[in-house]
């Protein structure tokens, strides 16, 4: 009996226990088949629907009275394109991310404008008499509106961004904040003067309502944009002259510069050296004027290693993006070496150094 049962189980296991790996690999194909099947069904349903359900006889829906129904909008489609662009940018990174973000922001702004238009339209058909308050009740003083908090928020944001990223953004944040606080103080002083005046006249007036600070906002935003551009190194374009003898630069030893063929210049940009081949005389000190043209935060150096690219022969300090330095190296016995960035030991930052 036991044997019979076992033989049945063995037989069944061939059928019941499939190769799961192969089945899982088939899942996407099965999903695709389902989707295609659905599309086919939909197309067939439309094809068989007959002319009456198709375009020519389409009616424009009319909303019942007192019911507001906004018309069709492309905004959700634009937003979907923007989100797709953003997600795609998150996958591939770099410029695509910014393009996706820009599309999304533009789409949302468009949507917002549409919504505001719709809102304006809806509020204009309002038939109830609008209640307009002439002012606060007697004895209550209500200060007028002020844009200072908004500018202050802009300044604080810029200041905090500057504290994180450093550079000109910090200075711009301080400038905007100081401008805001001084303006606020001026407003407060004027309001105080009004209360003093009210003691005499028995009537407390507000200071004139401020106009929208278009010019001030434009200046603030322009300052922030310029600071970000300068901090990220996009503007002005860095030339080798402007960074010559940077903060970390050390003077070229006069003895080394005197020997011909011992002073070199290497520029690193986009995580690659512009030179990948150097030849120096044996047992002779030499220098490399090294310029890092990558954005701040991207560190590079030029170390010398043996031909195996791992044994360090001479080590140098890394410099930050935007900096420049003159490295001094001691004379080397003749042979084949590499000069390499210890941060990015990739082919683009590994050059051959021939000493002979």
Residues that bind Cu ion (CB under 5 A): 300, 341, 343-344, 349
Residue number with CB closer to Cu ion (103 or 349) = 349
Q: What is the distance between the alpha carbons of residues 277 and 131, in angstroms, rounded to a whole number?
A: 81
Question: CA-CA distance, 37 to 240, in Å (whole number)?
Answer: 62
C-alpha count within 13 angstroms, C-beta hemisphere, residue 217: 10
Ordered DSSP codes for 156-225: HHHHHHHHHH-THHHHHHHHHHHHHHHHHHHHHHHHHHHHHHHHHHS-PPPPPPPPP-HHHHHHHHHHHH
Q: How far is CA 149 from CA 145, 154, 180, in A?
A: 10, 9, 8
CA 330, chain centre distance (Å): 43
State the nearest-atom distance from the C-beta of 346 to Cu ion, in Å.
Answer: 8
Host H or E run for residue 257: helix 254-258
Comparing CB distances to Cu ion, the nearer of 170 and 266 is 266
* Nearer of residues 59 and 270 to Cu ion, judged by Cβ: 270
CB of 272 to Cu ion, least distance (A): 9
Residue with smaller CB distance to Cu ion, 102 or 350? 350
User: Smallest distance, Å, CB 292 to Cu ion?
Assistant: 8
Alpha-carbon span 277 to 65, nearest angstrom: 81
* 3-state SS, residue 42: helix
Nearer to Cu ion, 219 or 318 (CB): 318
Least separation in angstroms between residue 298's CB and Cu ion is 7
Shortest distance, CB of residue 343 to Cu ion, whole angstroms? Answer: 4
For residues 146 and 350, which CB has a smaller minimum distance to Cu ion in the complex? 350
d(CA 70, CA 62): 11
Smallest distance, Å, CB 269 to Cu ion? 11
């Amino acid at each position: 009996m036991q044997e019979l049962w076992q033989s049945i189980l063995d037989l069944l296991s061939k059928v019941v226990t499939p190769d799961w790996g192969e089945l899982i690999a088939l899942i996407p194909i099965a999903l695709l088949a389902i989707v295609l099947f659905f599309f086919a069904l939909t197309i067939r349903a439309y094809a068989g629907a007959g002319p009456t359900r198709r375009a020519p006889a389409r009616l424009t829906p009319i909303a019942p009275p007192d019911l507001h129904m906004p018309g069709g909008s492309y905004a959700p489609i634009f937003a979907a394109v923007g989100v797709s662009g953003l997600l795609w940018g998150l996958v591939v990174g770099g410029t695509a991310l910014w393009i996706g973000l820009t599309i999304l922001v533009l789409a949302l702004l468009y949507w917002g404008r549409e919504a505001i238009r719709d809102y304006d339209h809806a509020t204009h058909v309002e038939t109830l008499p609008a209640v307009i308050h002439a002012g606060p009740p007697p004895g209550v003083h209500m200060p007028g509106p002020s844009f200072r908090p908004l500018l202050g928020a802009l300044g604080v944001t810029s200041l905090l961004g500057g504290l994180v990223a450093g550079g000109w953004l910090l200075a711009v944040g301080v400038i905007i904040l100081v401008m805001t606080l001084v303006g606020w103080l001026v407003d407060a002083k004027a309001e105080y003067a009004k209360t003093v005046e009210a003691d005499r006249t028995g009537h407390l007036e507000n200071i004139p309502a401020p106009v929208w600070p278009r010019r001030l906002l434009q200046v603030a935003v322009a300052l922030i944009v310029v600071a970000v551009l300068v901090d990220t190194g996009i503007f002005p374009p860095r030339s080798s002259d402007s960074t010559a003898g940077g903060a970390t630069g050390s003077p070229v030893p006069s003895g080394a510069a005197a020997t011909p063929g011992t002073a070199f210049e290497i520029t690193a940009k986009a995580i690659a050296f512009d030179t990948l081949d150097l030849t120096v005389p044996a047992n002779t000190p030499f220098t490399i004027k090294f310029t890092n043209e990558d954005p701040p935060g991207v560190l590079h150096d030029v170390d010398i290693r043996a031909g195996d690219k791992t044994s360090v022969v001479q080590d140098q300090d890394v410099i930050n993006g935007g900096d420049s330095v003159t490295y001094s190296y001691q004379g080397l016995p003749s042979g084949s070496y590499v000069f390499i960035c210890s941060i990015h030991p990739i082919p683009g930052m590994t050059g051959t150094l021939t000493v002979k």
